[in-house]
């Protein structure tokens, strides 16, 4: 560290990052998101399969 300013964020950078983050947090508070949950040990949410199927593709089982 020893006086090397490049190892630290300037205040204006920190402030700008919080302004950006606050906008995301505010947007998230206004919207309802439907996350596709799935059971542990399964291949994933049905919507993931449907997304690939739209292009005639499918997941590979490994």
Contacts of 49 (CB under 8 A, 6+ apart): 43, 58, 59
Share of the chain above pLDDT 70, in %: 98
- Mean pLDDT over 7-24 rounds to 94
Whether 15 has a pLDDT exceeding 90, the answer reads yes
Torsion of CA 37, 43, 60, 55, to 10 degrees: -30
Mean pLDDT (the chain, rounded): 89
Residue 49, phi then psi, degrees to nearest 5:
-70, -40
Cβ distance 14 to 20 under 8 Å? no
Q: How many Cβ atoms from other residues are within 10 Å of residue 28's Cβ?
A: 10
Locus of tokens 């300013």 = 5
């Amino acid at each position: 560290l020893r006086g090397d300013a490049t190892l630290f964020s300037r205040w204006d950078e920190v402030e700008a990052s919080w302004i950006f983050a606050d906008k995301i947090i505010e947007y998230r508070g206004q919207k309802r998101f439907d996350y596709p949950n799935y059971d542990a040990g399964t291949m994933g949410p049905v919507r993931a399969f449907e997304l690939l199927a739209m292009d005639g593709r499918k997941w590979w089982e490994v």
